Amino acid sequence: MIVGQQKPFDEIWEMVKGHKQLTVFGCNTCVAVCHQGGNKEAEILASLLRMRATQEGVTIEIKDGGIERQCEHPFFESAKDLLGESEAVLSMACGIGVQFFAEKYMNTPVYPALNTTFLGDVKSDWHFTEKCQACGDCVLGATGGVCPVSRCCKRLLNGPCGGSTKGKCEISKELDCAWQLVIDRLEALGKMDDYEKLAPVKDWSKDRAGGPRSFKLEGF
Amino acid sequence: MEIKTKSKLEKVFKSGAMAVTSECGPPRSSDPAHIITKGHLIKNHVDAINITDNQTSVTRLCSLAACIHLKLEGLEPVLQMVVRDRNRIALQADILGAASFGINNVLCLSGDHQSFGDHPKAQNVFDLDSMQLVQTVRHMRDEGKFLSGDEIKLPPNLFVGAAANPFADPFKIRVPRLAKKIAAGAEFIQTQCVYNLEKFELWMKGVVERGLHEKVFIMAGITPMRSVGMAKYMARAVPGMDVPEELIKRLSGVPKDKQADEGINFAVESIQRLKECKGVSGFHIMAIEWEEKVPEIVERSGLYPRPVVD
């Protein structure tokens, strides 16, 4: 899923404080799972903004609402009325939702309340870790199901580097060395010989480097 | 043995002699005088001089320009190239640039992560990894082609090296990893600084068992300790470095003003011992900002005079 983290409150306040009316919209899917951008968090953030407005003597009408998924048209139907009354929108969605808003409502300013941080898993209710960079050319079949592109800080395809120490990465003792995990998996699978297969130079044109990506289903 | 390049280092290896290299770090300045002075300080005691490439991710005068300065002085540089800062377009361009100045050696590295350096907020590149850079230089030299497949009219003729760290984890893949670098095309290897001689010898045993020492020239990395503080720092803070407790004790056991001498003694003893280690073809002496000690280490280790090759 997409993981996001709320921006510092002061940064959010600076973006929105000039408006007379603002609606904070939660996005109740990915970013709700990580407790950063769901409808509940939208309600809390709206309250905090109202308090800040009072403290600073600024008049802003602040409402809150929710859109189940801010990246698909049908989910906007239920919020139509509230949107119609909104001078500006503070979106609690990931960057995708914010842009979907911007594209859909040409004349309504929209601000991001979150920094979209990574594509990751839910290790526990409170712990989320990056697992994919959407490089467009998955190598997991060759690496025992451990992604070196997202999990090695040098995205080495033929790792580990010389900084791997006791299973940890050279940049942090808190961070697992992805290549240690690859090797552990290859060993568990009885496929250590695969380690010596040279990974070819990667085609990064399928990654961000190739420009914005899209695809269309033929005959759908 | 067939000589493939104009590299002096290749010729020394293939003459059967133990090779000696050292390295110099370029300045954080546009003034090349310092690196030229360092090069002249050690030129008679080594076969080639590595020039580091923004080592520890700290921005410096670039490796290629520093190599050119040494080359113009008649010295034999080894161009270190990390894949952290340049994509395949820039790397291949710099390889051609190096060859155009008659630089004969390249060492292909990943590079320390930028979080260690002076620009921790920088983007990193890692378009290729170090093995793929080895493959790329060999492809350019031997096939006369760019990675794109386009022909290179006058291919670069470089002797290609890579690094190995026998002390990084997991240990069990450190021999397979060397095999992989050889398969990628590495012709010589410079290792991480060796302080744990037993572990290095264990790694070399695995290397020899697979016959890898017959496919690549392995140079053991030697860095003299200047003080017990340096030893403790390396043990604690440098990833992938193995500094045994005995060495720290040994340095602590002598007065402060004698610790540097003791560090040199240990370096010399290490070389003397590893000269006898099967599969070791030379030594890479990294005297960090202490280049003036390289001649003494080389002489006391019985590696002087250096062989003359044409």
pLDDT tens for each residue of A159-192: 999 999 999 999 999 999 999 999 999 999 999 9
Instruction: Check: pTM over 0.80? Answer yes or no.
Output: yes
Count other C-beta atoms under 10 Å from residue A109's C-beta: 17
Number of Cβ pairs < 8 A linking chain A and chain B: 95
pLDDT digits (tens, 9 = 90+) for A99-148: 999 999 999 999 999 999 999 999 999 999 999 999 999 999 999 999 99
Ranges of CATH 3.40.50 domains, chain A: 2-118
pLDDT digits (tens, 9 = 90+) for B118-140: 999 999 999 999 999 999 999 99
Query: Coil, strand or helix: which one is A164?
Result: coil
- 3-state DSSP: chain A helix, strand, coil percent, rounded to 5? 35, 25, 40
Any idea which fold B8-300 has?
TIM Barrel (3.20.20)
Q: Which residue of A has its CA nearest to B117?
A: A171
Any idea which fold A2-118 has?
Rossmann fold (3.40.50)
Question: Which pLDDT band, with edges at 50, 70 and 90, does B289 fall under?
Answer: confident
Are B184 and A198 within 8 A, CB to CB? yes
pLDDT at A205 over 90: yes
Residues of A in contact with B239 (CB under 8 A): 162-165, 170
Taken in order B270, B309, B131, B93, the sign of the CA dihedral is positive
Least confident segment among A125-134, B77-86, B234-243, B257-266: B234-243
State the smallest CA–CA distance between residue A160 and chain B in angstroms.
Answer: 8
Count other C-beta atoms under 10 Å from residue A199's C-beta: 17
ipTM of the complex as predicted: 0.94
pLDDT of the residue at A220: 86
Residues of A in contact with B112 (CB under 8 A): 163, 170
pLDDT digits (tens, 9 = 90+) for B228-239: 999 999 999 998
Segment B280-306 shows an average pLDDT of 97
Are B110 and A162 within 8 A, CB to CB? yes
Instruction: Please enumerate residues of A whose Cβ is less than 8 A from a Cβ of B.
Output: 153-167, 170-171, 177, 180, 183, 192, 195-196, 198-202, 204
Taken in order A150, A164, A122, A40, the sign of the CA dihedral is negative
pLDDT digits (tens, 9 = 90+) for B241-251: 999 999 999 99
pLDDT digits (tens, 9 = 90+) for A13-68: 999 999 999 999 999 999 999 999 999 999 999 999 999 999 999 999 999 999 99
Distance CA B71, CA A214 (A): 50
Distance CA A139, CA A34 (A): 27
